[in-house]
Structure 1
């Protein structure tokens, strides 16, 4: 699946890929056109003032005062009318993007942490709920309700090609909706400065066909496969001893709630909220050099022996 507009994944001014972002894009065009028009008018007036020549007979004459005031009245009236029209158009746009036109296909709760995203797929049946991290899968052509909250400081959820920015404030749950018109991978980002690694707090929204999305959901609800090979068993034991206090892996004793759920780690494209691609080498690099790669992250770096590295890598490779 190709990245949507891979060359410019955050280009919301020229591209929209869903009905929640299209009115906002058009609003940006209108505001830009007005700003350019105002700039052009001011530039022309300034040029006229600079190049206009007074008659030699009265070089210090500036004209009657009431003539100048008339143009001030005209300019003020035109500016007021333009600003009022822009305000009305902005309110109309806000109303358009406030609610989807059809019932959302699903609800997702996204919790922002320093510096990653917890993604919970809600369901009326508790046994069908599951948790993932930094990657949101949605069905194409269906609106999705997103509940937004923060676990620590103020963050902001922004998937510019699909929807506008929404603040995530501790103690308050905000809501927005988004919808993708085409399959693809859409980049998202925290856009409220939240600390040292604010720039490395990205996420991806993966829009899939309804059939592919349902298959992904079914796979995510499964627990991790049991360890069979000796290296995998040793790696699982190391993980339980060293990592289970923060991370969860369903189907094992690991039940930590302070860091990403890793039950289906290998189904994700990226690691560390978009910092690294999800490869076996990068997984070990992240574990051993986390503070060098993302200074200030709450995960400590681990010094691993070659045997521990091989065993832990073997276990993590089974988390499909």
Structure 2
């Protein structure tokens, strides 16, 4: 029998679709240079294809219902060769050249990135590491990416398990994560905002629940946030939070890291500042005490098949304490 908190979390799960409906995950509302270029390519191809379709439908109407003189005219050999061979080759060649030229502009990198971030596709969440210019890890988070607005950011996209696809449609196109290979993607958000991303390559049972959020901050705020993330977790003072920490060390430290404590597990996400993230469980639930409790008690009920077991044997008091401790890790 699932813990009662699971019922609350299941209700929260139903609300996650609101993110996609609010324009923060839409290629139709580009908020970055690459996304704008992709949207332009799509518009040109759609208009071009639509005009060709209308032309073909017009000829079909004339062939079926037009006057005999017009039917005879469109049946001429020269018109069929011109419309069936010359016209498609010319139009498709122009569209192909245009697409290649537009795409080439998206891969050129004329300036050094303001930040370098390694994104690793896990089962089924995103490991996020911020790198210094030499490639050394500065700090690690999960499912929550912060970038400086108005500046170019380089993403190093990889996987150690299966093929995923990193996609933040408001900001850029898709980039596959290939096991044993590192792909590079440049992203720039034109202005501060919150943008939802998604795995776009089927990768297993919880593929649909493998989301993340990219939050573009003013450069000064980004620098302050990154500096805060490098700090270890603060030692809890309240008795309830201390009790929650003890529960965590007993049951969770083997898989998760909280810097500044003895928890140093690498299998699951780094939780040092998990309370400050936009969501939990790879975009599946909002970030609050109730969601933490529901996820801890019933992760297999909320997201079946993920690698975290459900801790439904915790007492109500113990579950509340550990959820409050998670929420306090700002």
TM-score, normalising length from structure 1? 0.91
Tell me the residue number matched to 1:111. 120
Aligned to 1:312: 322
Aligned residues of 1:4 and 1:185 also touching (Cα < 8 A): no
Question: What residue is the counterpart of 2:13 in the other structure?
Answer: none
Residue in 1 that maps onto 2:77: 69
Q: Could you say which residue in structure 2 is the equivalent of 1:59?
A: none
CA drift of 1:294 comes to 0.5
Q: Distance in 2 between matches of 1:6 and 1:193?
A: 22
Determine if contact 1:18/1:163 at 8 Å carries over to the other structure. Answer: yes
1:143-190 CA distance string (max 9 Å, x none): 000000012111001111111111111111111010001110011111
SS in 1 for 2:165: strand
Structure 2 distance, partners of 1:126, 1:51, is 68
Root-mean-square deviation (CA, aligned residues, Å) is 2.2
Secondary structure class of the residue paired with 1:109:
strand
Secondary structure of 1:241's counterpart equals: helix
CA distance in 2, matches of 1:8, 1:221: 32
For structure 2, which runs of at least 5 residues remain unmatched after alignment? 1-17
> For 2:33 and 2:136, how far apart are their aligned partners in 1?
32
Structure of greater Rg: 1
Partner of 1:7: 22
Q: Secondary structure at the match of 1:131?
A: strand
Counterpart Cα distance in 2 of 1:49 and 1:219:
71
Q: Deviations over 1:179-219 (max 9, x none)?
A: 00111001111110111111111111100101111110111
- TM-score, normalised to structure 2, is 0.88
Partner SS for 2:33: coil
Q: Hey, what does 1:45 align to over in structure 2?
A: 59
Distance 1:288 1:125 in 2: 41
Q: Indicate which of 110, 134, 139 corresponds to 1:130.
A: 139
CA–CA distance in 2 between the matches of 1:31 and 1:68? 29
Unaligned ranges ≥5, structure 1: 56-61
Structure 2 residue corresponding to 1:227, chosen from 229, 232, 236: 236
Matched residue count: 310
Q: Distance in 1 between matches of 2:196 and 2:311?
A: 30
